[in-house]
Structure 1
Amino acid sequence: MITSVLPAPRRAERATADASATAWALAARNGDPYAAEHFVRALHGDVLRYVAYLSGDPQTADDLAQDTFVRAFDSLPRFEGRSSARTWLLSIARRAVADSFRRTAARPRPADTHDWQTAVEHAQPSGLPGFDDGIALLELLETLPDERREAFMLTQVVGLPYDEAAGFIGCPVGTVRSRVSRARATLERLVLDAEIEASVPVA
């Protein structure tokens, strides 16, 4: 199933990764360049995927990710680790994309399937298993309502725990779970329909 191609990491693994990234951020706040480098490496992929998803224009994803980290380092002295560094950084990424939209409001840029393919190529090496299915998943995500797509993306692709995703979006945890469940059901139905259609012999 395509919906299993990009699963969220196991909770224990994600918690360990988040704790590590947050520790790197706190160390970088104190001026440790080694920690700063590891902080960027730990979260760059998540930021790149998220800004590509939000902007719909992967051609600018690298610039938006760079802008996100510039803003993050400017704000790092005020980061106290009350939330995970990942959640904090994604909030900054969202503002960076919103500011980019405001700056380019006079030049709207439509997103299309080819843009999504480029985004995945940047976010995931093409040699990994499931690469083509990952592209298909992102194409299918485009068919979901915005709220369900964001909940699914944050929890199943970026890997935020449901409670952190709820705080990030600004809604109850139960709402996030419901949106993800409905998104998953829709994606599974779309995949099944595609498989049925592909199995029908061409006349």
Structure 2
Amino acid sequence: MRTIGNRTLSADESITAWALAARAGDPVAVEHFVRALHRDVVRYVAHLSADPQAADDLAQDTFLRALGSLHRFEGRSSARAWLLSIARRAVIDSLRHAAARPRSSDAADWQTAVERAQPRGLPGFDDGVALLDLLAALPGDRREAFVLTQMMGLPYAEAALVSDCPVGTVRSRVARARATLIALLAEADTEVTAERAAA
């Protein structure tokens, strides 16, 4: 929170004010702007790209693009929504680039090699993997709407700006994502109960 005159600004208003000050050349405002949104951008690009290991590079690309085009930011939407729409384009460009480039592997069983390279035994790691698996089961547009509104806390109107679709579409996608996630959790609980009964 930041105070201007007698008025206390919300977090989004503060971030937008920092973006506008950064646009005017204030280096301290640039630092505040980047720090305030870095975590949100990393989480968002990790979910969109489905590659948590690429999240830092994608976040860096997002901020480089944003700082390079900050002179065009006019503050008509929140700086958070503006930056997340840039992050979305960075992920799309990255996916297009990766799809156009062939990959090779020396390992005979590359899938097992990748699975063994993943970290294990970290606190909350298994829960995080389970959540990623559940989110991965959602269609991309529903996953994006759910992550933006339910995990990152963006208002539906800003999520609509980021996703470039009407607010009603975002609401529908979130509702459908919730229904799918509830069904998947119920199915997983049934399987666990059946396995325990069989053991």
TM-score, normalising length: structure 1: 0.76
* Distance (Å, rounded) in 2 between the aligned partners of 1:104 and 1:147: 20
- The answer to whether 1:153 aligns with 2:147 is yes
Larger relative contact order (CA 8 Å, sep ≥ 6): 1
Identity of aligned residues (%): 69
Would the aligned equivalents of 2:85 and 2:161 in 1 still touch at CA under 8 Å? no
Look up the match of 1:27: 21
Instruction: Sort the Cα spacing of 1:166 and 1:97 in 2 relative to 1 into closer, same or farther, 3 A.
Output: same
How big is the alpha-carbon RMSD for the aligned residues of Structure 1 and Structure 2?
Answer: 2.6
Greater Rg by CA: 2
Look up the match of 1:8: none
Q: Aligned to 2:10, what secondary structure does the other structure show?
A: helix
* Distance (Å, rounded) in 1 between the aligned partners of 2:100 and 2:94: 11
- The answer to whether 1:138 aligns with 2:125 is no
Deviation at 1:105, TM superposition (A): 2.7
Structure 1: gaps spanning 5 or more residues: 1-14, 119-125
* Distance (Å, rounded) in 2 between the aligned partners of 1:40 and 1:167: 20
The ranges of structure 1 where at least 4 consecutive aligned residues each deviate by more than 6 angstroms after the TM superposition are none
- The aligned amino acid for 1:157 is M
- The answer to whether 1:91 aligns with 2:85 is yes
* Distance (Å, rounded) in 2 between the aligned partners of 1:167 and 1:62: 23
Aligned pairs for 1:37-76 within 5 A: 37-76=31-70
TM-score, normalising length: structure 2: 0.78
Look up the match of 1:184: 178
* Distance (Å, rounded) in 1 between the aligned partners of 2:88 and 2:60: 13
